[in-house]
Homo-oligomer: A and B are copies of this chain.
Amino acid sequence: MNRHDDTSSLDNATAYVMLRTSRLLRFHLDKFLESAGAPISPEQWIILFKLWERPGLPQNALTDPVLNDEPNITRLVRALIQYGYVERITDETDRRRKLVSLTAKGEALMAHLLPLVVETRKRIFSGIPEDELERFVELLHRVEDNLIEDMTHEPHDNMTRM
């Protein structure tokens, strides 16, 4: 790896560009939600979306090994309850569980936001034909698989402490 060839430059490093783009994506979503009058974070938006798709989920169904662990979900849901977008009831058939749903206020928020999101999505991916976008997502999934595969095969034991 030469100090100044193109492949070594950070700006051309795929991983680096992905990191940048996704950070920007989160920032953009944050600004979008703010300008749409929704006082929620991108992470809370994801929760609301999942609940909109499938109401009455237990909290652990909201977790994601990559994005949000259980403690995070607890905090995110708590905040959404305080805003009044979400309600949480104990599952009487299994009292460990707490089932989470959108309130009427939460449904109203989603009804307000979703059309705007669809529009925004168009702008974000404008100039990219549909089939390329599909391929793009496929590649993302491929990378994700490779990453997980690689981590389960660790360690490579280059444990020379520097």
Using CB atoms and an 8 Å cutoff, list the residues of chain A in contact with chain B.
1, 3-4, 8-10, 12-29, 31, 35-39, 46, 49-50, 52-53, 64, 66-67, 105, 108-109, 112, 114-118, 120-121, 123-128, 132-133, 135-137, 139-144, 146-148, 150-151, 154-162
Specify the main secondary structure of chain A where it touches its partner: helix
Q: CB-CB < 8 A to A36: which residues of B?
A: 156, 158-159
Counted per complex, copies of this chain come to 2
Other-chain residue from B24, B46, B116, B125 in contact with A148 (beta carbon distance below 8 A): B24
CA gap between A126 and B153 in the complex, in Å: 15
Q: Are A162 and B112 also in contact (CB < 8 A) when A21-B18, A25-B15 are?
A: yes
In the complex, chain B residues whose CB is within 8 Å of the CB of A157 = 35
How far is it, in angstroms, between the C-alpha of A123 and the C-alpha of B148 when the chains are bound? 11
CA distance A63 to B134 in the complex (A): 33
| Given A22-B18, A136-B14, A143 contacting B124 (CB threshold 8 A) | yes
Across the two chains, which residue of chain B brings its CB closest to A20? Answer: B66
Minimum distance in angstroms from A151 CB to a CB of chain B: 6
In the assembled complex, the Cα of A24 lies from the Cα of B1 at a distance in Å of 25
**Interchain CA distance A71-B117 in the complex, whole Å:** 33
Interface centre among A29, A53, A112 (most CB of B within 10 A): A53
